[in-house]
């Protein structure tokens, strides 16, 4: 355990530095996970020292947060799975203290499920939590609100939720969620219109910067006509039917999500 102790102290220094040294964290975590396996602490069995369990949990939690900060979602997935025993099986062990990071990490997992459009898994995971936690814990309430606003089509609230995130790591997932929303809205715009005023397109897509809108337009092969102040979509061969854009977007997204829940 002496070598593990030194590696753990180095990990803490790298993680708590400002900014975190993510490269050093990743290297130390790889070594520490091997050490945890050799010490029988990655998947604890039998009588294990409570202090060792706390250290093992802390290492895995730092690993989960490092993965988010590095935008390595599959790695976060693995760390979250490994933390489940510490959050459930050992919760009632005598003298085993609760973790301050548990609900922030659980909340991150819920937002991850939202960004992956895994609504059924989101609700199954949510149902495993105590009712008072769902109602009162800010780290859990945040993804619950996000899911409700998504179902309502209240995308402006989703956008504003970025600034209300209870932890910086949440913003990474919200940015990903907004990317998905933008692409769905953009597909609806393309289906309904040949062109839109640049200002209207920016508002619908929640862009505050014209350069960000221009980059997004280029990715979708849209033409920006600065002279006319329009964004022109690909020409369509079929007859165009004028449909109010807000209603089309809201109805299409709501229908898609309700269909997914049924399936």
pLDDT of residue 93: 83
- Both 42 and 172 in a single domain? yes
Residues of the chain with pLDDT under 70: 1-2, 46, 235-263
Burial 123-150 (b: 16+ CB within 10 A, else e): eebbeeeeeeeeeebebbebbbebbebb
Residue 88 structural domain: 1-194
Task: State how many domains the chain has.
Answer: 2
- Both 116 and 163 in a single domain? yes
pLDDT of residue 4: 86
d(CA 173, CA 195): 31
pLDDT of residue 239: 46
pLDDT of residue 81: 94
- Both 149 and 233 in a single domain? no
Instruction: Give tens-digit pLDDT for 115-145.
Output: 988 999 999 999 999 999 999 999 999 999 9
- Both 187 and 257 in a single domain? no
Residue 176 CA: distances (Å) to CA of 81, 142, 162, 169, 200 = 22, 16, 11, 12, 22
CATH number at residue 14: 1.25.40.990
**Is 129 in a helix, a strand, or coil?**
coil
- Both 105 and 176 in a single domain? yes
d(CA 119, CA 147): 8
pLDDT of residue 257: 64
- Both 28 and 67 in a single domain? yes
């Amino acid at each position: 355990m002496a070598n593990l102790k030194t590696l753990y102290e180095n990990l803490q220094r790298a993680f708590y530095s400002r900014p975190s040294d993510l490269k050093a964290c990743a290297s130390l975590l790889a070594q520490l996970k091997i050490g945890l396996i050799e010490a029988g602490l990655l998947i604890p069995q039998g009588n294990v020292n409570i202090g060792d369990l706390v250290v093992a949990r802390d290492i895995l939690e730092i690993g989960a947060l490092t993965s988010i900060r590095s935008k390595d979602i599959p790695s976060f997935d693995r760390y979250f799975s490994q933390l489940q025993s510490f959050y459930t099986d050992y919760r009632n062990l005598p003298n085993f203290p609760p973790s301050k990071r548990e609900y922030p990490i659980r909340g991150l997992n819920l937002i991850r499920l939202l960004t992956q459009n895994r609504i059924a898994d989101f609700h199954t995971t949510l149902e495993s939590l105590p009712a008072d936690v769902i109602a009162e814990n800010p780290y859990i309430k945040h993804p619950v609100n996000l899911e409700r606003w998504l179902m309502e089509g209240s995308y402006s609230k989703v956008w504003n939720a970025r600034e209300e995130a209870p932890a910086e790591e949440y913003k990474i997932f919200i940015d990903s969620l907004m990317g998905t929303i933008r692409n769905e809205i953009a597909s609806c715009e393309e289906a309904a219109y040949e062109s839109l005023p640049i200002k209207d397109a920016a508002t619908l897509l929640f862009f505050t910067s014209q350069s960000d809108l221009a980059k997004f337009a280029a990715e979708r092969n849209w033409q920006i006509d600065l002279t006319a102040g329009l964004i022109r979509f690909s020409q369509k061969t079929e007859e165009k039917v004028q449909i109010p854009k807000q209603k089309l977007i809201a109805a299409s997204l709501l229908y898609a999500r309700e269909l997914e829940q049924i399936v």
